C-alpha cells in the first residue's frame, strides 16, 4: 500500500506566504497582522461609506502605510502606527511638503506621495 501525499500544494503554500508578507513589512510584522488592511482600518476613524468598502494596503514600511478603499472619490491615506495604534498622517488630496514629512520621519519609500517644497 502506498504513501499518502499531503493535500497542500506548492501553489497554495506560495500564496499563503505572499499573503503574509505582501505588504512590504517583515515576516514577523505580517504574522501578527500589523500591515493587514482590516487591522489598520479598525484603528482609523472611517466614514460609513468607507466602512462598507474594501480596504487595501498599497505599501507598508515599518510603522507607516498607505491604505485606500474601493469607493468613489479619493479615499487614500498615509497612516502611521503610534503606540500600537494606526492613526492618520495625511488624507488625500493633501498639500504636505516632503520636507515636513522628512522631519516627521516618513520613510523615503513614501516620497512619491508628497510634493517637493
More reliable by pLDDT, 13 or 58: 58
Q: How many residues are listed for the chain in this entry?
A: 117
Tell me the pLDDT band of 45, cut-offs 50, 70 and 90.
confident
108-113 contacts at long range (C-beta below 8 A, 24 or more positions apart): 109/24, 109/59, 109/61, 110/59, 110/61, 110/64, 110/66, 110/78, 113/66, 113/78
**CA quadruple 10, 13, 15, 18: dihedral positive or negative?**
negative
- Please report which confidence band the pLDDT of residue 14 belongs to, taking 50, 70 and 90 as the band edges: very low
Phi–psi pair at 69, nearest 5 degrees: -115, 150
Q: Are 99 and 117 in contact (CB under 8 A)?
A: yes
Q: Give the pLDDT band of residue 33 (cuts 50, 70, 90).
A: low
The predicted-structure confidence for 56-67, as pLDDT tens digits, reads as follows: 999 999 999 999
Taking residues 35-48, report their average pLDDT.
Answer: 93
Query: Can you give the residue ranges of every domain in the chain?
Result: 25-113
Q: What predicted TM-score, i.e. pTM, was given to this entire model?
A: 0.71
Taking only the tens place, the pLDDT of each residue in 77-106 is: 999 999 999 999 999 999 999 999 999 999
Contact 35, 15 (CB under 8 A): no
Considering only residues 113 and 18, tell me which one the structure prediction assigns the higher pLDDT: 113
Within 13 Å, how many C-alpha atoms sit on residue 117's CB side? 6
Amino acid at each position: 500500500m502506498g504513501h499518502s501525499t499531503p493535500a497542500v500544494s506548492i501553489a497554495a503554500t506560495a500564496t499563503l506566504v505572499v499573503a503574509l508578507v505582501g505588504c512590504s513589512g517583515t515576516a514577523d510584522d505580517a504574522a501578527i497582522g500589523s500591515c493587514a488592511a482590516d487591522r489598520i482600518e479598525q484603528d482609523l476613524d472611517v466614514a460609513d461609506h468607507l466602512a462598507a468598502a474594501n480596504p487595501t494596503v498599497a505599501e507598508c514600511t515599518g510603522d507607516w502605510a498607505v491604505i485606500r478603499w474601493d469607493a468613489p472619490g479619493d479615499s487614500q491615506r498615509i497612516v502611521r502606527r503610534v503606540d500600537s495604534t494606526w492613526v492618520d498622517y495625511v488624507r488625500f488630496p493633501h498639500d504636505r511638503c516632503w520636507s515636513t514629512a522628512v522631519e516627521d520621519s516618513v520613510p523615503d519609500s513614501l516620497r512619491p506621495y508628497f510634493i517637493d517644497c
